[in-house]
Amino acid sequence: MAAFLVLSCLTAAVLAGGILWVNKQKSPKRRPISLLFAAAFVTVVCNALAVNVHTEWAASFFYVLYYIAGDWILVLILFLTGVSLKKNRSRTTFLWCSFLCLIDTVFLLSNLKFHQVFHCVESVLPNGRVRYGVQFEITHYAFVLHILLRCVLLFIILLTYIRQMFATIALYRGRYLRIVWSVLAIIVISSLGRIFALPMDITSILYAVLAILCVYFSYFYISRGIVAKVLSLLIEDTQQGIVCFDKDGRCIQLNSAYASLFGERGTKEYFEQYFEEWRRQRGELREEFWREAHEVDGEMHYYDVHFNILQDDKGSFVGSFFSFTDRTESVMEYEQKRYEASHDELTDIYNRKRFFQEVEVKLKEEPEVQRVMVCIDVKDFSVVNSLFGEKTGNQILQRIAGLMRRDASENTIYGRLESDHFAMCMREEDFVEADYAEYLEDLKRIVHSSVYRMHAHVGVYRIIDSSINISVMCDRAFAAIESIKDSYQHIVAYYTEDMGKTEQREKVMIGEFDRALAAGEFQMFLQPQISVGDYRVLGAEALVRWEHPVRGMISPGSFIPVFERSGQITRLDNFMWEMACKQLRVWKDQGIEDLHISVNISPRDFYLVDIYNTFTSLVELYGIDPGNLKLEITETALMEEISKQFSLLEKLRKYGFQVEIDDFGSGYSSLNTLQDIEVDVLKLDMGFLRKTTHGKRSKTIMNAVIEMSKNLGLTVVTEGVETQEQVDYLTWAGCDIFQGYYFSKPIPVKQFEAKYLTNRYAGSV
């Protein structure tokens, strides 16, 4: 009896502790588990009280509670079975069992009055104390229901776990097997207790133990096998190659990722040897990280390797492992990016940056070797794209790169600096001038045209001082090209000292620009444009002059190209445009509204300013008629991005400006392009017609151009008119306007006004 009480108290304490512990957990099952433990607690406590109270009614009351709680233990185990197995069907079973259990509860409660399930029987213990036991009414249906319910519940619980045992994978079978064994053991022990009529009924304690075991095995029990198996599956599943060794260096685990990372070498034997060797070299083993590369199936693979030792709770060495992370892909990606960043996409040779870097290294490595910097420039390359399309342009560039690649010796570094500029740095003895004539012949095969003449120039700079910037070396090679840039006869030019002086002069000019503009050193000169026939002055072309404080008057031929290269031309042009507008306003205020001024627009301006906005704003600002401002655009400017330029011209003309094509015939415009270009005026230059062709042929061309322009309704201006002969011929040919020294050189505004405002006729030259 005392032992039973101690056992009951212990069990109750374990259950109470269980309830507290479970409630601290965050598990969603903590409610049903607490309820189950609470029911078990009630069972144990009520049973202990029932056998210890001294009145029949109290004994009967505690027995009723004990039986009711016993029922609910089984129902709650059933519920938890359903929860843990997550099966829908078990929900219906659970509801039915709860319903039956509720009826049984009602019968048991009514037993307090009617004693239809059991009644208490008094027995006197040897020590004289009274104890109440129970006598079941085995024939009463209420008792039958009670017993049947218990059997059914136990049976269903058993069945559910047995079924689950077979349904689950082998790894988890042990867990259910343990529950089944627990249920069976409890049924057997409790039956034996009854059969042998033990003095104390320990069913309540058995039920409590059953509740604890079910909860433990269902939710908290994790078998060592499962842990090992899941961990090994986890290792198997990772992308990293993992090899584990026991403390003696035997390979105990090698995942398939490892095998695939190392191809044929991915075997335990191979790696045991590797480890053995590695261990010998290291001496003491400790955690390490490093990177290594291996050739696998003919390809290089790159790995991040991690080695570490494994220790148990007490810190004893139990084994070690290597993990290999394949970073080949990221290495390749990095290499690719590095390659792309240092190579020109189109030609696949070094880009400017990499070329400079490589040359710098080479020059440092071999300072005793005499080298030359050789730069290549395609003549009028921008025209190629417009005339023949980008594809042909690209073909030329790729061909040049191909030729460089084909003939470069291993000591030659070559690259594409930008657009059609290439550079090579080679040993002086490797440079053979004749090669370049051959290259040109090769390139000529790509472009067949009567309009465009394929030509390329090569500039050579002998590297005397290897400490100067590589870009300066290239600039010098290009300065050499500059000296032959208009020639089709020359291919190769060598840099000389005085070219350096030009370079120096250019730098000075660029440096002086801001000051000169602010100080008003740039001036607008006007050259009259005269109507053919009556020699009336119709207007003038605005031409810039630089009144330099030291060098005197400088003509635009020497500074315009410099400012075009430096980008400063746009500010200069803006200044000239504004001067022209101001002048038109002055004349307007004097009542002169039939004189026009033509202004020059540099090809660079199209990239650097919004032409349309600039001109319309100026016209609005000065309140002048746009028809009096003529815009001179060169063919070269039109040739790039033709469609964009055409729509710009259309907008300008719609607004009221007159658009003129300057230097027509000097570039590559064929007569046919005249039909497509929407302009008002065509300016022909006597000068270059004279320069390029002679006599008859020049006149034939002139005649054709003038005739065609007339048919298209264009006004023809001829500039560079110097002789009476030319005036006569042009009058005969149908030219509309003259401009040239024959009438007047470009002159300052004041002089122009004095000469022509009062007398508008220039016939008396």
Q: Which residue ranges make up the site for ligand C2E (CB under 6 A)?
A: 527, 543-544, 555-557, 560, 569, 573, 576, 600, 602, 662-663, 687, 719-722, 739-741, 746
377/662 with CB nearer Ca ion:
662
Residue 599 CB, nearest approach to ligand C2E (Å) = 7
In the complex, the smallest distance separating the C-beta of residue 628 from Ca ion, rounded to whole angstroms, is 17
φ and ψ at 455, to 5 degrees? Answer: -155, 150
Select the binding partner of residue 59 from Ca ion, ligand C2E, none (C-beta < 5 to 8 A, by kind).
none
Q: Which two tokens stand for residue 220?
A: 């908290």
Nearer to Ca ion, 457 or 630 (CB): 630
Residue 547 binds which of Ca ion, ligand C2E, none (CB < 5-8 A, kind-dependent) = none
CB atoms within 10 A of CB 242: 18
Q: Give the containing element (helix H, strand E) for 461.
A: strand 456-462
Contact 631, 618 (CB under 8 A): no
Q: Which two tokens stand for residue 355?
A: 């070329």
The smaller minimum CB distance to Ca ion, of residues 380 and 660, is found at 660
Cβ-based nearer residue to ligand C2E, 326 or 506: 506
- Cβ closer to ligand C2E: 433 or 725? 725
In the chain, how long is the greatest CA-to-CA distance?
A: 162
Q: How far is the CB of 435 from ligand C2E (least distance, A)?
A: 36
Q: Which is nearer to ligand C2E, 90 or 628 (CB)?
A: 628
User: For residues 60 and 600, which CB has a smaller minimum distance to ligand C2E in the complex?
Assistant: 600
DSSP secondary structure string, 275-331?
HHHHHHHHSS---EEEEEEEEETTEEEEEEEEEEEEE-TT--EEEEEEEEEE-HHHH
Q: How far apart are CA 406 and CA 414, in angstroms?
A: 11
- Residue 344 interacts with Ca ion (CB under 5 A)? no
What separation in angstroms does the CA of 30 have from each of 26, 36, 62, 207, 666? 7, 10, 27, 19, 94
Nearer to ligand C2E, 270 or 688 (CB): 688
Residues 599-638 that bind Ca ion (CB under 5 A): 600, 632
Query: Cβ distance 201 to 34 under 8 Å?
Result: no
Q: What is d(CA 498, CA 502) in angstroms, rounded to the nearest whole number?
A: 7
560 binds, among Ca ion, ligand C2E, none (CB under 5 to 8 A by kind): ligand C2E
> CA neighbours within 13 Å on the CB side: how many for 474?
22
Q: How far is the CB of 630 from Ca ion (least distance, A)?
A: 10
Q: Which residue has the tokens 């500029």?
A: 421
The Cα 16–Cα 524 span in angstroms is: 106
573 touches, from Ca ion, ligand C2E, none (C-beta below 5 to 8 Å by class): ligand C2E
Contact 474, 438 (CB under 8 A): no
Which partner in ligand C2E, Ca ion, none is near 722 (CB below 5 to 8 A by kind)? Answer: ligand C2E
Selection from Ca ion, ligand C2E, none that 475 binds (CB < 5 to 8 A by kind) is: none
Q: How far apart are CA 694 and CA 706, in angstroms?
A: 18
**Contacted entry of ligand C2E, Ca ion, none for residue 555, CB cut-off 5 to 8 Å set by kind:** ligand C2E
In this structure, what DSSP letter does residue 350 have?
B
Residue ranges of alpha helices (H) inside 625-685 are 635-639, 642-655, 673-676
- As given in the structure block, the two tokens for residue 486 are 């208009």
Contacts with Ca ion by CB under 5 A: the residue count is 4
| 457 neighbors 485 (Cβ within 8 angstroms) | yes
What is the nearest approach in angstroms of Ca ion to the Cβ of residue 669? Answer: 14
Helix (H) or strand (E) holding 527: strand 522-531
Q: Is 663 in the site for Ca ion (CB under 5 A)?
A: yes
- State the nearest-atom distance from the C-beta of 688 to ligand C2E, in Å: 9
Q: How far is the CB of 576 from ligand C2E (least distance, A)?
A: 4
CB of 493 vs ligand C2E, minimal distance in Å: 24
Q: Which does 720 bind (CB under 5 to 8 A by kind): ligand C2E, Ca ion, none?
A: ligand C2E
667 binding partner (options ligand C2E, Ca ion, none; Cβ < 5 to 8 Å by kind): none
Among Ca ion, ligand C2E, none, residue 746 binds (CB under 5-8 Å by kind): ligand C2E
For ligand C2E, the closer of residues 562 and 576 by Cβ is: 576
**56 vs 578, which CB is nearer to Ca ion?**
578
Does 573 interact with Ca ion (rule: CB under 5 A)?
Answer: no
CB 373 within 8 A of CB 474: yes
Residues that bind Ca ion (CB under 5 A): 600, 632, 662-663
